[in-house]
Amino acid sequence: MKNTKYGALFFLGILYVLNVAVVQAQQLPGGIRMPSGVPGGLGGGGNMGGAVLDDSTKTIYGPQTTLHFYEEDILNNRDSLRFRVDTLLDNFHRWTYLDRALNRLVDLGNLGTATRPVFYQGRDEVGAQLGFRAYDPYAIQPEEVKYHDTRSPYTDMTYIAGGRGQNILRFGFNQNVNPRLNVGFRLQRFTSNKQYGTYSSLGSESNLAQNWNFLLHTNYFSANKKYTLLAHFRHLNHQVKEQGGLIPDSTAAGGLDLFNYEGPARLDDQARSWERRNVYHLYHQYRLANGFQLFQTLDYRRVINRYTDPSPLQGVTNGIYPGILFDSTSATYQQVDYKLLENRIGIKGTFSGFTYRAYMRNRLYSMQGTYNLTDSVQGRYRTSHFEKVILGLWLSYYLKDSTQHLTAEGEHLIGRDFRLKGELATRWFRAGYHTSFWSPDLLMERYVSNHVRWENNFTLTGANTLYGSIPIKVRHLELEPTLQYQLITRYLYYDTLGLPRQLNGSFSVLRLGGTFSWSQNKWNAFAMGYYTVSSNSDVLRIPALFANAQISYDFTYAKVLFIRAGVAVHYRSAYLADAYLPLTQQFHIQNDFRVDQYAVADVFATFRIKRVRVFLKMSHVNEGLLGPGYYTTPGYLGLRRTFGFGLSWPLFD
């Protein structure tokens, strides 16, 4: 009741702020009235950030004076490319990590839980990797780091109350110390509550996932533009109470109740997964002459992944762990400590229409595992290696205009991994080919715990991918049919017991589908859908049908309040979805639980008044219409009907 009360008060507060803002927004600073008919819309147009205050050249600071870029732009010699602060209402209501990925991720039914891709993804990097990826979406990835160029201090504040204990708070600040040096940071905190396995909605007992995310970044350009430096530090601290899934109610009238949200969890309430990541990154370059630059990147990463369970016998009894190897009376304790130092140095530039990059890199890594034999005795194992020479080459050539280009890249770890990729993009079609062979994850090679252990010597896994699409535009309608064919060799996976296995031979995966978008007057529609078939569904399970659709309507209130209201639907067909093993944080095949087909519908409304954006959203509004609920992963229920709201408020002075 308290959550409902506070939610209602917050909602009324938002309506009050919007009402006041509508009145005030019709006046610019200084009492100047906004003229009628100013071009605007839902994309942050109009006079926002660029209105003249007087006859001088003084302008209002805003999105047009606050720009950002990415390291990839500098690396690929797109130095002048800059992006404005996003003030669009497009997809602003998609606040969850699954929603932002257009449901191409699967989780355990709640914010902060373990994730995996819906579709198969080959490795896009060479060299051995650690193998813990379940929490990747909740960490800031290197390609997501924004480096800013601001004419005024820029503060970004976002608060989201997603309902049922889901909360996200983000705060960021950026400022140019001088025209050539910028510093900034970003902080995120989110939490979520359990749906089942607890009978108290208050206090720490109800907590499910907690996340801290921190980013510190800086960029510097010399006065003559010859030297550029980008640097950042990324931190992730993520903790989840592992539940192991729901125990269905076998005493329910009419048979087994699979959707008993009041039921118990399979694991003890104190079972925990915890992961901490620290990454230090440096990129700098120096231009010796036009078309010739030297560059270097340096990375140091440390990952600590820990799992504890004070009652391991409960997990064995409920089918979560395969068994007990050492001591059934002591608590299970497992930790992996991973360190990586990576250096890359090379040359790059532009010559006769070609943009090129050639480099050499090396990696030094170590992994140490710690596990308990008894409560007081621990065992350890260690793996370390120095990957000396990795050679890489990247080429890009623009054809008649910037919309048509050809890119090719390759990377080879001498004597082992390699990857090659080429793509041609024109106004009529886009086609590409990608082939790669990569080393097994360190986690698959060696692992010891109180429940499972292995030591393997797997060979390289390979994937050949051929893809293409044809963009078609007819007046207000845009279509893009797509095709992807993958041939996977010596596939690595986790079996029904959660143990790593390698499949001899090859099999293929074919995916057909595309995207559709339509916009006319104030109506907007978008859809994407895929049909996927695998020649070996014994080891790789993908839903045959996958679809997203959304329709919305735009309108304006009092000329300054822009509103978009609509409905979004996601559907996937039934399949034997992979199960989840909390101990190793890996998904593995299973043959006992068929995740049924289901469609989830959301109703939303997004608002923008000046630079402030607000959304209201009812998720899973169709609960009870198609069935009592749905499962995202075997044993893990999807979230019930939930009302959420969010606010994004950027400040530019």
Helix (H) or strand (E) holding 20: helix 2-24
pLDDT at 589: 97
Confidence of residue 246 (pLDDT cuts 50, 70, 90): very high
Residue 223 DSSP one-character state: T
Backbone angles phi, psi at 416, to 5 degrees: -150, -110
Bridge-based pairing of strands 405-413 and 418-425 is antiparallel
Are 265 and 196 spatial neighbours (Cβ–Cβ below 8 Å)?
Answer: yes
Q: DSSP string spanning 244-280?
A: --B--BTTSTTS-BTT-TTSPBSS-TT-EEEEEEEEE
Any residues with CB less than 8 A from the CB of 66 and at least 6 apart, and which? 84, 85, 148, 149, 150, 151, 152, 154, 174, 650, 652
For residue 177, is pLDDT > 90?
Answer: yes
pLDDT in tens, 1-18: 444 444 444 444 544 444
Find residue 580's DSSP bridge partners.
587
**Residue 172: pLDDT over 60:** yes
Q: How far apart are CA 546 and CA 529, in angstroms?
A: 6
Q: What confidence tens digit (pLDDT) does each residue in 209-242 have?
A: 999 999 999 999 999 999 999 999 999 999 999 9
pLDDT per position as a tens digit, 296-330: 999 999 999 999 999 999 999 999 999 999 988 88
Average pLDDT rounded to a whole number, residues 262-270: 90
Residue 601 — very low, low, confident or very high, per pLDDT cuts 50/70/90? very high
Domains of the chain listed by start with CATH number: 2-651 (2.40.170.20)
Mean pLDDT within 404-426: 95
pLDDT in tens, 461-500: 999 999 999 999 999 999 999 999 999 999 999 999 999 9
- pTM for the full predicted model: 0.89
The 10s digit of each residue's pLDDT in 505-564 is: 999 999 999 999 999 999 999 999 999 999 999 999 999 999 999 999 999 999 899 999
pLDDT: which is higher, 22 or 628 = 628
Q: What mean pLDDT, rounded, does the chain reach?
A: 89
Between 51 and 104, residue with greater pLDDT: 104
Q: DSSP string spanning 116-183? A: EESS-----S-S------TTGGGSPPGGG--EEEESS-EEEEEEEEEETTEEEEEEEEEEEEETTEEE
Mean pLDDT value across residues 450-455: 95
Task: Give the span between the Cα atoms of 551 and 532, in whole angstroms.
Answer: 25
The confidence score (pLDDT) of residue 241 equals 96
Cross-strand bridge partners of residue 363 = 342, 387
HSE of 627, CA atoms in CB hemisphere, 13 A:
14
> How does residue 250 score in pLDDT terms, banded at 50, 70 and 90?
confident
Q: Which of 25-34, 265-274, 307-316, 378-387 has the lowest mean pLDDT?
A: 25-34
What pLDDT was estimated at residue 61?
86
Q: Is the pLDDT of residue 26 over 50?
A: no
125 vs 410, higher pLDDT: 410
Query: How far apart (Å, rounded) are the C-alpha atoms in residues 257 and 250?
Result: 6
Structure tokens at 612: 């402030």
Residue 566's beta-bridge partner residues? 552, 604
C-alpha span between 209 and 245 (Å, rounded): 15
> How many Å apart are CA 244 and CA 272, to the nearest integer?
11
In 312-386, which ranges are continuous DSSP H helix? Answer: 312-317
pLDDT at 200: 63
Q: Contact 168/159 with Cβ under 8 angstroms? A: yes
Higher-scoring residue by pLDDT: 315, 49: 315
Which of the pair, 194 or 57, is modelled with greater confidence?
Answer: 194
3-state secondary structure of 526: strand
State the pLDDT at residue 199: 58
What is the percentage of the chain residues whose pLDDT exceeds 90?
A: 77
* pLDDT surpassing 70 at residue 633: yes
Q: How confident is the model at residue 201 (pLDDT cuts 50, 70, 90)?
A: low
pLDDT for residue 198? 67
Cβ(622)–Cβ(599) below 8 Å: yes
Residue 277 has pLDDT above 50, yes or no: yes
pLDDT in tens, 126-145: 999 999 999 999 999 999 99
Tokens at 168, concatenated: 């996200």
3-state secondary structure 555-591: EEECCCEEEEEEEEEEEECCECCCEEECCCCEEECCC
Q: pLDDT-based confidence at 353, cuts 50/70/90? A: confident
The yes-or-no verdict on residue 101 having pLDDT over 60 is yes
CA-based nearest residue to 222, from 152, 271, 287, 305: 287
